[in-house]
Structure 1
């Protein structure tokens, strides 16, 4: 039997936004650009390659601060990447998120015809993300990046979204977010679950062997290797509607919190039902070393503690007995809050736009992001739940339900409304630093 040799990653060449965990709290900004002049677009790539932070730089001179950049398929075309190279990118990426909307469940209020412009249109070419522990350092990061695109009239800023993460790490529905992330071989960054074996580097970084032994990378090698794919989505959260639904279906405040936990799979503090099934445990929820150290197969195969249809068990079934191999669909997921919080106890919508900027990172758009979205969040066949959708983020239409396994009689929540509405999104390719320079040096 051949001994396995762990991957060695060139962290100096990989953008830091691919692998590094985010600080708490933090502020972030998404900036989108359109390239109208090919030469100016290439100059942007040359300049930005000197600004982007690598994964080998865990503490930058500005602190926990970094800048990342990704390009859409239309952006690569605008730069003049040769057709023979373009054709080697993942077909989902080449189609773009708007074209994949029906498969992803982005219909009705979430349909591309209702997205914020220019999201989902051919006018989005470059996605620049800046992140820092606070607004002062965020502005410093943006100012550091500004010379890369200033004085380039052929590059136009077309959209901006400011975001933040609270010290409580909670998202608009009130749950602690960002609890679970995988360990990646060769990264030197530990995963959040000590019971999970690190995943092969090729699951997240192109040009390296993945869990199946394959190596995926756009060509030529200097363009594709050490890059990755990203999916960004602006997700509006109907917080008042979510609160009213819990209130209307609970017998009292204590039951309301239990229902919220059963729907998510965790109490609002971040404590998982798997480790604290009867009540919330804020100390556990705040303990990053303990709050994610659990599996399902041995202790809870039927979902009596953590329902099979709850959000966290759908998004990451861990070792549960489901159709398929969960490790092949593991992904890096990050969410950043935008908009003002709805004050505690308010059950009426105040009209403010609030939610998450969702970011997926992975080497396989199809079998990671799209598979989880279509087969696990918007369907329940994989765990025996029929057509039931994710109760939190699924593309509900008011006719679905959510089952809470319980003895002697299961509990059923009916007529689930759509709590999360897609306001737009893009598929991107996050190049290596080598690839950014390669794009800058294109000729013709």
Structure 2
């Protein structure tokens, strides 16, 4: 920890990808690199520091286009970061996602031995993410970034994933995505829930006070401060299976949409059940100022409107009195779609790889991403539902169903198959711009 934390966020040293919402629509690319030559890897960091946009520059000439650079634990070792420094990073980061697979529910079809190569291996060193409003501007951003890694034979691009977000903001299951995001004190970026106070910067950016007054800063301070941890995951979606489950358990089209809403906690348009309990309200779903401004406990403690086990209530219980203070488990979440959509109405899988590229950003891997994934997504004890898992993203094995609170009798759905399968991922560190230069200037 730093003994002399400065309160104001140093936006000019924080990568824009840490705090800034992505544009709508947008195109994005993830590029993974392996560093075989330490000197070339360090040169990549030096060059990257000139390509990465800071959070202080949201109105740059490039508009809503930016590049972020993250480094894994294996990448830190490949760059020659001293062991004494590595020991000051979060232990989950040092272990890596593969080692944490069982705790995350990445078992069976989702276990690392089935991941897409080279994800989950020691070859994943540097992850470059480029974001732009459309594909031509994305290619232009990649062209600007290319000099950072070209003509460096000791740095090899080993994996690429192109992804996108539609103007409708819909993902492959048909729901509007990216609705909820927290406000970060000092960032100047508003949150999506007007009833949620901004969270302390130290929940997301290292080197600042967090919600419990602590300050996490990996050492040396020039390396740790203004950085953050990023979790990235490639998640395959079994879209046809999801559609069949809804169709098979509904009494008709209207009931099918109600079931879809009860499972997610929102109608497909993004309108929440909490504000529109009886029918979809597309105008509300499209209204970024209203669609996420609600709480649960005052109006719906028993979950008769928004089931306690639905996806959005598990991911963020808001004002609920649950195990652990909810604000300690908030994350910045980014999602992008990959693969062509399954045509409307099709109920059989066509063999196309489609899903979501997720990234979660925070300063506490353990009590943020890992806690939510293991305790809220893959368990139900926190709201009295035993071992029940999240109906959308839970690691289902066909043993448990989904219960919808209802008077006079609750509605119980049959066992759920696994709709989302992990195809790979990693824990990364998003260095500040000064830290990128520090990594570039390392000497043996």
Class of the TM-score when normalised by the shorter of the 2 chains: over 0.9
Contact 1:6 1:185 in 2 (8 A): no
Residues 93-112 of structure 1 correspond to what in structure 2 (within 5 A)? 93-112=93-112
Equivalent in the alignment of 1:270: 270
- Aligned mates of 1:312, 1:206 — CA distance in 2: 27
Equivalent in the alignment of 1:119: 119
Contact 2:336 2:356 in 1 (8 A): yes
Contact 1:16 1:55 in 2 (8 A): yes
Deviation at 1:62, TM superposition (A): 2.0
Equivalent in the alignment of 1:56: 56
Residues 21-420 of structure 1 correspond to what in structure 2 (within 5 A)? 21-420=21-420
Contact 1:284 1:290 in 2 (8 A): yes
TM-score, normalised to structure 1's length? 0.98
1:213-242 CA-to-partner distances (Å, cap 9, x unmatched) read 000011000000000000000000000000
Long gaps (5+) in structure 2:
none
Q: Secondary structure at the match of 1:49?
A: helix
Contact 1:324 1:382 in 2 (8 A): no
Deviation at 1:323, TM superposition (A): 1.9
Between the two proteins, the alignment pairs up a number of residues equal to 440
Deviation at 1:59, TM superposition (A): 2.3
Residues 1:441 and 2:441 are matched in the alignment: yes
Q: Secondary structure at the match of 2:280?
A: coil
Q: Secondary structure at the match of 1:98?
A: coil
- Aligned mates of 2:364, 2:137 — CA distance in 1: 33
- Structure 1 residues 189 and 6: alpha-carbon distance in aligned structure 2, compared to 1, 3 A threshold: farther
Query: Quick check: 53-62 or 295-304, which moved more?
Result: 53-62
- Aligned mates of 1:39, 1:90 — CA distance in 2: 26
RMSD of equivalent CA atoms: 0.9
Contact 1:321 1:383 in 2 (8 A): no
Q: Secondary structure at the match of 2:425?
A: strand
Deviation at 1:98, TM superposition (A): 0.5
1:177-218 CA-to-partner distances (Å, cap 9, x unmatched) read 000000000100000000001000000000000001000011
- Aligned mates of 2:353, 2:224 — CA distance in 1: 37
1:286-322 CA-to-partner distances (Å, cap 9, x unmatched) read 0000000000110000100000000000000000122
Contact 1:7 1:185 in 2 (8 A): no
TM-score, normalised to structure 2's length? 0.98
- Aligned mates of 1:58, 1:346 — CA distance in 2: 41
Deviation at 1:6, TM superposition (A): 11
Long gaps (5+) in structure 1:
none
Q: Secondary structure at the match of 1:178?
A: coil
Contact 1:6 1:186 in 2 (8 A): no
Deviation at 1:8, TM superposition (A): 1.4
Deviation at 1:388, TM superposition (A): 0.2
- Aligned mates of 1:378, 1:417 — CA distance in 2: 14
Q: Secondary structure at the match of 2:348?
A: coil
